[in-house]
DNA sequence: CAGTCAATCGCACATTCGTGGTATTTTCAT
DNA sequence: ATGAAAATACCACGAATGTGCGATTGACTG
């Protein structure tokens, strides 16, 4: 163990898995596992007195605080700390939650030890190691994220006015900002309502957000 | 070239790159490039008369129809057709758009030929090959997607009323639906506005969508 | 030229909103 | 019992909305 070696913390409640993986890491040149914890809470007790590690390997299904919640809390300490998830969970919701909270990589526990070591090196090189099946799932998640972008044939001016309305301006304020008569804005909004099939501000704002009209 | 070999189409306007990569693929056991096109439009002319390929390698910056638009149109032919992006673009918007339209992988043109061949094999094995820098960027995109869920201390009743207001009901309509006096709804809404620091319907609806208040 | 569309402007007015203020009752915790 | 929070209700009124109707001008196209 040398000062330049990469310091890794592991948070994993299965003690056999934790010990065997710690051994692998400690036997790998250039890295060492200074701590391995069975829970996030344990890690946070130590974090107050020591420097943050260079990487965290984090399970999700943990006693007490889950790995997802753990990401949140680690992120309050450092936005850049690489956090590689190492878990059995591959359902969409868990993957999505972990990534949204800021996971830097996502491996499954059936990964070989070589793959895990390679992934540690990858995250150090600026990558984002993902299990192959997870990568596929991640890309599929984007299709679900895609907002249905609708087209109601709004004119340029109508969109301009709509943006200001959605931002909370009254008709008179919109008129003042665009150097128009109040009546002009009123007419445009009337036309917008007809095109969008709504008749209230609430309706129009909802539609803008739900259907990405800009 | 055998019947079981993987049929790949390439869509790439740089003819030198297109030819050299086609050669690499044709020299790789188990795969062949039956067509290489300089534009999406050319590919769609052929697609009407031939079977779809097993994989498409797709550039983004193309003459005429862009690769992003091309994904959309290929997806109308097949939801499962693997489409690997091979491009110089690594800006967030382009990556995001390509993935949302259904890209199955995303490589950069500085990838080695070995990496490209390996990625083809990876997508066939059910993966989603991503350039390392792109993978990192993709995970960062999730943090941006995460909606900041805020808590303004709204009571149960306030949330109930807010939902109906956001859905487009007038105060009187809300009162009728909840068997309350108009004045009660008015008071609740007054309190909601104070808690959310807004003073218009547009403001409150925007806040609900931006900050996931329900 | 005629027709269409977009932009601009106006009238009229019933309806609704937003906000300042007030009050009572019920429920829960100390 | 007391106090706080939530729920309910009310008054007042200027500001703003939503919708029916109408018109003119400019740019573009066939």
* A58 or B3: which leads in pLDDT: A58
Q: Is A126 exposed, middle or buried (0-12, 13-18, 19+ CB in 10 A)?
A: exposed
| Interface mutation target, options B142, B169, B173, chain A, most CBs of A under 10 Å | B142
Q: In angstroms, what CA-CA distances link A77 with A52, A191, B139, B207?
A: 8, 51, 19, 28
- Which residues in B lie closer than 8 A to residue A92 (C-beta atoms)? none
CATH T-level assignment (fold) for domain B6-145: Rossmann fold (3.40.50)
Q: What is the pLDDT of residue A22?
A: 94
Please state whether strand C lies within 7 Å of residue A184 at its CB atom: yes
Mean pLDDT, rounded, of chain B:
91
Mean pLDDT throughout B168-190? 94
A95 — pLDDT class (breaks 50, 70, 90)? very high
What is B156-211's CATH number? 1.10.10.10
Q: What is the pLDDT of residue A20?
A: 92
A152-194: pLDDT as tens digits: 889 999 999 999 999 999 999 999 999 999 999 999 999 999 9
- Which residues in A lie closer than 8 A to residue B205 (C-beta atoms)? 201-202, 205-206, 209
Rounded to 5 degrees, φ, ψ at A110 are -85, 5
* B178 or B214: which leads in pLDDT: B178
Question: Does residue B1 have a pLDDT over 70?
Answer: no
Strand runs labelled E in chain A: 6-11, 31-37, 55-58, 83-87, 105-108
DSSP assignment of B75-122, as one string?
HHH-SS--EEEEES---HHHHHHHHHHT-SEEEETTS-HHHHHHHHHH
- Decide: A106 and A155 in contact? Cβ < 8 Å: no
How many C-beta atoms lie closer than 10 Å to residue A16's C-beta? 8
Long-range contacts of A187-196 (CB under 8 A, 24+ apart): A188/A157, A188/A158, A188/A161, A189/A161, A189/A165, A191/A158, A192/A154, A192/A158, A192/A161, A192/A162, A195/A152, A195/A153, A195/A154, A195/A158, A196/A152
Q: What is the pLDDT of residue B146?
A: 73
A119-138: pLDDT as tens digits: 999 999 999 999 999 999 99
Question: Does residue A145 have a pLDDT over 80?
Answer: no
Q: What is the pLDDT of residue A2?
A: 64
Question: Three-state DSSP class for A25?
Answer: helix
Question: Does residue A29 have a pLDDT over 80?
Answer: yes
* Residue extents of the structural domains in chain B: 6-145, 156-211
- From the list B140, B125, B132, the residue with the least C-alpha distance to A118 is B132
- Decide: A149 and A183 in contact? Cβ < 8 Å: no
Task: Give the dihedral sign, CA A65/A68/A70/A73.
Answer: negative
Mean pLDDT throughout A38-56? 92
CB distance B202–A200 less than 8 Å? no
Q: Which residue has the tokens 């450092």?
A: A78
B2 — pLDDT class (breaks 50, 70, 90)? low
Q: How far is the CA of A196 from the C1' of D8 (A)?
A: 36
Question: Does residue A57 have a pLDDT over 80?
Answer: yes
B145-165: pLDDT as tens digits: 776 777 888 999 999 999 999
A61 — pLDDT class (breaks 50, 70, 90)? very high
Please state whether strand D lies within 7 Å of residue B187 at its CB atom: yes
Q: What is the pLDDT of residue B142?
A: 87
B16-62: pLDDT as tens digits: 999 999 999 999 999 999 999 999 999 999 998 888 999 999 999 99
| Interface mutation target, options A139, A147, A170, A207, chain B, most CBs of B under 10 Å | A139
Distance from CA of A166 to the nearest CA of B (A): 6
Does ipTM come in above 0.90? no
**How much of chain B, in percent, has pLDDT values that exceed 90?**
81
Question: Does residue B128 have a pLDDT over 80?
Answer: yes
Please state whether strand D lies within 7 Å of residue A27 at its CB atom: no
- From the list A182, A181, A191, A198, the residue with the least C-alpha distance to A158 is A191
Distance CA A86, CA B118 (A): 24
Please state whether strand C lies within 7 Å of residue A177 at its CB atom: no
Question: Three-state DSSP class for B130?
Answer: strand
- Decide: B129 and B119 in contact? Cβ < 8 Å: yes
Q: Which residues pair with A33 in a beta bridge?
A: A8
């Amino acid at each position: 163990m040398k000062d330049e070696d990469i310091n890794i913390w592991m948070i994993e409640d299965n003690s056999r898995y934790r010990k065997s993986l710690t051994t692998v890491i400690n036997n790998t040149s250039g890295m060492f596992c200074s701590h391995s914890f069975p829970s996030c809470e344990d890690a946070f007790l130590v974090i107050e007195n020591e420097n943050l590690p260079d990487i965290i390997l984090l399970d999700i299904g943990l006693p007490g605080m889950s790995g997802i919640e753990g990401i949140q809390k680690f992120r309050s300490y450092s936005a850049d700390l690489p956090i590689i998830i190492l878990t059995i969970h591959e359902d969409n919701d868990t993957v999505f939650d972990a990534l949204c909270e800021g996971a830097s990589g996502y491996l499954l526990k059936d990964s070989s030890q070589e793959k895990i070591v390679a992934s540690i090196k990858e995250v150090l090189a600026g990558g984002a190691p993902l299990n192959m099946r997870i990568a596929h799932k991640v890309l599929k998640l984007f299709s679900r994220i895609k907002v249905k972008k609708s087209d109601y044939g709004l004119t340029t001016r109508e969109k301009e006015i709509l943006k200001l309305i959605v931002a909370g301006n009254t008709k008179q304020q919109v008129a003042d900002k665009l150097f128009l008569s109040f009546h002009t804005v009123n007419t445009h909004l009337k036309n917008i309502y007809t095109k969008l099939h709504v008749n209230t501000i609430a309706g129009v704002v909802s539609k803008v957000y739900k259907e990405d009209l800009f």
